[in-house]
Homo-oligomer: A and B are copies of this chain.
Amino acid sequence: MTATRSPQHSPAGLPLAITQGDVCGIGPEIIAKFFRSADAAGCFVVGDMGVMRRAAAWTGGMLALARIDTPADAKRLPPNCLAVLQAEGLAPDLLQAPIGRVDRRAGAAAARCIEQAVALAQRHEVSAIVTAPLHKEALAAAQVAFPGHTEMLQALARVPGQAPPAVRMMLANDELRCVLVTIHMSLRLAIEALSFDAVLDTLRIAHQAAAAWGQTRPRIAVAGLNPHAGEGGLFGDEEITTIAPAVEAARAEGIDAQGPFAPDTVFMRARHTATHHGEFDIVVAMTHDHGLIPVKYLGVEHGVNVTLGLPFVRTSPDHGTAFDIAGTGRADPSSLAAAVRMARRLAARSPGAADQG
């Protein structure tokens, strides 16, 4: 019983921070549910004691809450104890924000929690950050200048005097990993944002990131933008002018990239199941929905969002704030649990927590 557990001697052994997300959505509830499982050992919440106490009550049964002063304290708590590192700068009347509605105070609080979790990661006090869902309209109502987590984390990870790191959103489940070239912008702007560099950077980031799950030379499929990947130029020329040259450049760097392939069949070809060995390890998609539709199609319970390219590990569940069921205690914590498992797995191999800074 005196043997030390190996996670405590690797970056993965550091405490794991979970941000509480938009308090008008299901974030606090799925966290409270998750903390009733043994999987939550070593995790703590960056959030608000009052909000988490309310969420614990909504989700039924006994759950001890403990306010901690430092992440390291989370490791000293008994099982099934919800550790909360009280975030600073939250609205005093945050609990008055109406459940299931867009609220400026909730948007601002979600941003504060993320900022403070990133600061902990940058000081190497946590192994990884898992973020509960925020609401993009609430962020906007709070005058937060980022459309979502990914863009905000990118800005917070910027080293002064340098350009922000190139980051990409990956959505993954047991069958499929999709990395997106463009995300939170209109489809019109997404088409404008496609460039040789944007595609090549995505391929580089995806290639490098795969080492964290044990693949040093992943097989990367690139989905086209247009129907039938442009059908030889009949249905659009971005495949010819932009995507294919970027694939070629990536291959010249030793990246096993192939494509562009027709968007409507490449995800099916990449799908890994017990009976179907996928042809690819990663699919790079040009738009948010080309990539997310197939990952989410089988159900969002096990999907995990991973931000690639950051100097720390960050994952999140692949669902939103679910305003329609917030406050009912019905929300399913499965995707949050999957996000924590993925974060631990990536942190165990990540150079971020141990080597940087």
Per the bound structure, the CA–CA distance linking A184 and B268 in Å amounts to 20
Interface status of A314 (Cβ within 8 A of chain B)? no
A9 to chain B, nearest CB (A): 40
Total count of chain A residues near the partner, CB < 8 A: 44
Does A222 have its Cβ within 8 Å of any Cβ on chain B? no
What is the oligomeric copy number? 2
| Distance of A234 Cα from B140 Cα, bound (Å) | 9
Scoring A187, A228, A276 by chain B CB atoms within 10 A of each residue's CB, the highest score goes to A187
Which chain B residues lie closer than 8 Å to A234 at the CB level? 136-137, 140, 147, 184
Q: Contact check, B294 vs A297: say whether CB atoms are below 8 A apart.
A: yes
Interface residues of A in 109-167 (CB under 8 A from B): 136-137, 140, 147
Give Cα distance in the complex from A228 to B191, angstroms.
17
Interfacial chain B residues near A228, Cβ < 8 Å: 136, 184, 320
A271 interface residue per 8 A CB criterion = yes
Known pairs A137-B234, A268-B299; list 16 more (Cβ under 8 Å).
A136-B228, A140-B234, A147-B231, A184-B234, A185-B227, A186-B236, A187-B236, A227-B287, A264-B296, A267-B293, A267-B296, A268-B296, A268-B297, A268-B298, A271-B297, A276-B299
Chosen A-B contacts, 9 in total, with CB atoms closer than 8 Å, are A137-B232, A147-B235, A184-B227, A184-B228, A187-B227, A187-B236, A263-B293, A267-B297, A294-B294
Ranked 9 nearest A-B pairs via Cβ = A186-B236, A264-B292, A227-B288, A263-B289, A294-B297, A293-B293, A186-B226, A136-B231, A137-B232
